[in-house]
Amino acid sequence: MTQEEEILVMPGTWNLPFRYTAGRFASRFFRELRDSKKIFGVRCPQCRRVLLPPRPFCERCFVSTEEWVEVGPQGTLEGFTICYVPFLGLPPPPIATLFIKLDGADSCLGHILGEVDLSDPDKAKDAVKIGMRLEPVWRDERKGEISDIEYFRPVS
Amino acid sequence: MARRVAIVSVGLTRTSSHRRDVTYPELVHEAVSAALAQTNLKAKDIDAVVYGSMDPFDGVFAPERWNVDACVGAGASNKPFIKLTTGGTTGGSVALGAYYHVTSGLFDVVLAVASQRVGSTLEAQLVLNTCIDPIYERWMGGGAIMVGANQAASHFHYYGTTEEDLAMVAAKNYANALNNPYAHLRRHLTVEDALKTRMVSWPLRFSDCCPSSDGACAIIFASEERARKITDTPAWVRGEGQITDNYYVGDRPWFQDWEALSILARRVYNEARINNPLEELDVAELYNAFTIQEIIECEALGFCEPGKGAELIRKGVTTMEGKLPVCPSGGTLCTNPIGASGLIRIGEAALQVMGKADKHQVANVKTALAHVWGAAIGFHVLMILDKEAP
């Protein structure tokens, strides 16, 4: 191939609409968020773990779950990161994504952090700590989706 | 009874953020031709093909159709052809698939091919985000970097690992990649330089994160009888395995440890009769897409106690001159054509056993370990290769 040979690049896009079936369990979970500002998990009848997000069967015991258990609303931070770089099509930075073990639950809910200044990484890393206590801040107009909780904030 | 199997050839391509000099099939052809050229095998001598890529990155669904002719003309000559895709472990699954084809006795000479053009997508993290649960988790914008950064934040919190430790891992891998003509990032990086790169997702900086690469890898697996005729330097499969963890990342928030990998390591070491990996392995090619992962992998693989992974890099154990060099190739940190990266790890381990790693060859390698992770840090593949037949 010679230096001056022109190589073409063909543009393309994928913009494919989908619909994801939430199912009975997620539907009830989101209805409770929307209508009563309550967070529910389900208890496995065998290992007794309270699973969040709620799901129709315990993947460890492989038995159906039926018992709904209210959890939280406060919880403990189990894992996190703070993103500082913009990625095309994804939420703008800085954004802290959290894994929160809500009181009474045995697994973590993923959510985002609010009311904490994240702009300086050196300061933010001291403000966001594993083990810190968090509470949800609810939207006034809720649609029955996970972001009906606008964000979690440190318990003052 | 499972048959003995060896890797008899490895073909790699040059890698970059956009191999605009070649079409996708040409890229695959480059890897496959390189693998054939190492042997006296012709395309007709390949009994079956196992191919893999992680679909959406290339911008086409089912890229095996695009590449079916580049895999030794498998399409044109009507060969058996299977496609495997398991996220980041795709390349590892491809190697296992080819190994199973041969060890089962169903086929004698099987070509494993994995390819990816991450450069075809203009935002890899947006593609990665499509593998996150659409009901509960996708809206947060998570992708591979988020899980890697969670691992780092937890390791810092529980074990006291520091940004300097991560920078040392980066500098070591960048230095190794300078000796690997197939590496993507080939530039000198000091610890000081690394610590000045911008913060991507705390605590991971730019130098802690792998690039998006175009690249492919082809490996030929053969039965014992055929392997001994094809090459004088076979790399024998001494142990292998795969493990999965459960679906929700939030179910396993112990990011500081890689429990599934520990379990798999025990299984595979048991199969290979390895008691002390630090003493018995001569080199390891680990899937270190993010610097922190090399540290956690060393722990989970039993090279040190849990939480002590950073000490290995501080003490130089994992450098080229160390007791157990990790990623002489520069690893996934310096080259990441995602679906192909797992097969590259296994190919690099094989090259070390064959004594064909050229400038990044570790001296006197008998036993090499290759590792691959994928699927939101839920899947792992391990393969142990050896100079001696098991």
In tens, the pLDDT along B189-209 reads 999 999 999 999 999 999 999
Q: What is the pLDDT of residue B1?
A: 59
B62 at the A interface (CB within 8 A)? Answer: no
Q: Contact B146/A81, CB-based, under 8 Å?
A: yes
Ranges of beta strands (E only) in B340-387 are 367-374, 379-386
A89 at the B interface (CB within 8 A)? Answer: yes
- SS3 label, residue A139: coil
The three-point CA angle A5-A11-A14 to 5° equals 155
Q: What is the pLDDT of residue B2?
A: 87
A 22-61 residues with CB < 8 A to B: 22, 26, 51-53, 59-60
Percentage of chain B exceeding pLDDT 70: 100
Give A30→chain B minimum CA distance, Å.
10
A12 at the B interface (CB within 8 A)? Answer: yes
Q: Contact B139/A81, CB-based, under 8 Å?
A: no
Binned at pLDDT 50, 70 and 90, residue A3 comes out as low
Give B56→chain A minimum CA distance, Å.
9
pLDDT over threshold 80, residue B362? yes
Indicate if ipTM > 0.90. yes
Give the pLDDT mean for B237-243. Answer: 98
Q: What is the pLDDT of residue B212?
A: 95
- Candidate from A1-5, B160-164, B168-172 with smallest mean pLDDT: A1-5
Q: Contact A107/B20, CB-based, under 8 Å?
A: no
Taking the whole predicted model, whether its pTM rises above 0.90 is answered as: yes
Closest residue to A14, CB basis, from B59, B203, B250: B59
In tens, the pLDDT along B292-346 reads 999 999 999 999 999 999 999 999 999 999 999 999 999 999 999 999 999 999 9
Contact between A103 and A52 under an 8 Å Cβ cutoff? The reply is: no
Q: Token digits for B379?
A: 């899947």
Give the pLDDT mean for B154-160. Answer: 98
Q: Contact B21/A7, CB-based, under 8 Å?
A: yes
B125 at the A interface (CB within 8 A)? Answer: yes
How would DSSP label each residue in B40-97? S--GGG--EEEEE--GGGGTSS-THHHHTTTTTTTTTTT--EEEE-BTBTHHHHHHHH
pLDDT over threshold 60, residue A2? no
How would DSSP label each residue in B85-120? -BTBTHHHHHHHHHHHHHHTTS-SEEEEEEEEEGGG
Binned at pLDDT 50, 70 and 90, residue B142 comes out as confident
Closest residue to A107, CB basis, from B123, B202, B251: B251
Strands B81-84 and A63-64: unpaired
In tens, the pLDDT along A45-59 reads 999 999 999 999 999
Average pLDDT of chain B? 96
In tens, the pLDDT along B206-234 reads 999 999 999 999 999 999 999 999 999 99
